[in-house]
Amino acid sequence: MAQIGTDRKKAKEFLESGNVVGIPTETVYGLAGNALDTNAILRIFQVKNRPSFDPLIVHTDSIDKVSQFVTDIPNPARKLAEAFWPGPLTLLLPKQSLIPDLVTSGLSSVAVRIPNHPLTLDLLRSLNFPLAAPSANPFGYISPTTAQHVADQLGDQVPYILDGGPAGVGIESTIVGFENNVPTVFRLGGMALDQIEAVIGSVSVRTHSTSNPQAPGMLSSHYAPRKPLVLLSPGESPQPAGRIGALAFREPFGGIPASNQRILSPTGDLNEAAKNLFAYLRELDTLPIDLIYAEPLPNAGLGFAMNDRLRRASVPAPTTSPFQ
């Protein structure tokens, strides 16, 4: 069983000997391994049960180091990096041959980010290689936002989980690419679109794809709890029937026991809601209920990214009652 602790040196030793380690970031916890060691990369794919066509994000601690892994940092990318790193932003940049093809699933660009977490930044500074790290959840399931979430699901396959407390942002990084010099968002995430546009002007958004996805966060079924989740329309209320639970934004729904509901932010703060989203989905997934109703978030700030996750986690509203 994995050991959970705050010993950065221990994490370093495991990583240097080719092991994978759970690491905290401000977005979600990652399952980290030496990005330049193909055996460590293979181990990441194996532990997550992740298909090899889904590339990994490379984490490091400075723009100087990023320059060693890529052949070019286009102007808008540099502006975003300077404005938001360390932070919940991932940039797709043309890769150097130093980065194994396994990391990028054969793509010519590599996803890079500098995470904003003091413990992990210290760890990255102490290593002489970057860390490949997908979210530390079994492929397709909800991302972990605490060390315990990682232990619950991957604990028997990971020797050490570095505990940096609950993730402060709570939702994965926003992914931006620069194909043909057009800044394009491939995954909505912890860096809100309007913040990005304030720095580089308007960007196109391409996050929906059902086949041959460029970023598998684009796959339509992803981030899903085990229980069926129905995403309500704005203003719609759940049909009280059977054993149901709800994920609400500010106020609980009538007709459902309070113990079966989680309220993302009573004050209506979208950042607080993002921070709670995945932990609450996990809690609802363990309750004695058969169906989770989720209220859509307002389309502002991190609300877009949260609605994207809920949409991907949802099944279409049932046309016949699931309780028959």
Task: Please give the DSSP secondary-structure letter assigned to residue 245.
Answer: E
Q: In which region does residue 289 sit, left (phi positive, over 0), alpha (psi from -120 to 50) or beta (all else)?
A: beta
27-62: buried (b, 16+ CB within 10 Å) or exposed (e) per residue? bbbbbbbbbbbeebbebbbebbebeeebbbbbbbbe
Strands 160-162 and 131-132, sheet pairing: unpaired
Pick between residue 295 and residue 308 the one whose CB is nearest to ligand TXA: 308
- Cβ proximity to ligand TXA: between 134 and 303 the closer is 134
Which C-beta is closer to Mg ion: that of 213 or that of 298?
213
> Any contact of residue 100 with ligand TXA (CB under 6 A)?
no
Per-residue binding string, ligand TXA, 145-184, x by CB under 6 A, is ---------------------------xx-x---------
Among the listed residues 312, 317, 316, 271, the one whose alpha carbon sits nearest the alpha carbon of residue 140: 312
> 276 phi and psi, to 5 degrees?
-90, -20
Q: Does 25 bind ligand TXA (CB under 6 A)?
A: yes
Would you count residue 116 as binding ligand TXA (CB under 6 A)? no
d(CA 110, CA 57): 7
Of 34, 60, 109, 153, the residue at the interface with ligand TXA (CB under 6 A) is: 109
- In the region spanning residues 119 to 148, those forming contacts with Mg ion, defined by CB under 5 A, are 135
Nearer Cβ to Mg ion, position 60 or 135? 135
Smaller CB separation from ligand TXA, 142 or 248: 142
Query: Which positions from 236 to 275 touch Mg ion by CB under 5 A, shown as an x/- string?
Result: ----------------------------------------
Give min distance, CB of 275 to Mg ion, in A: 17
What number of other Cβ atoms are within 10 A of residue 64's Cβ? 8
* Neighbour tally for 100: CB within 10 Å: 18
Query: Interface with Mg ion by CB under 5 A: which residues?
Result: 135
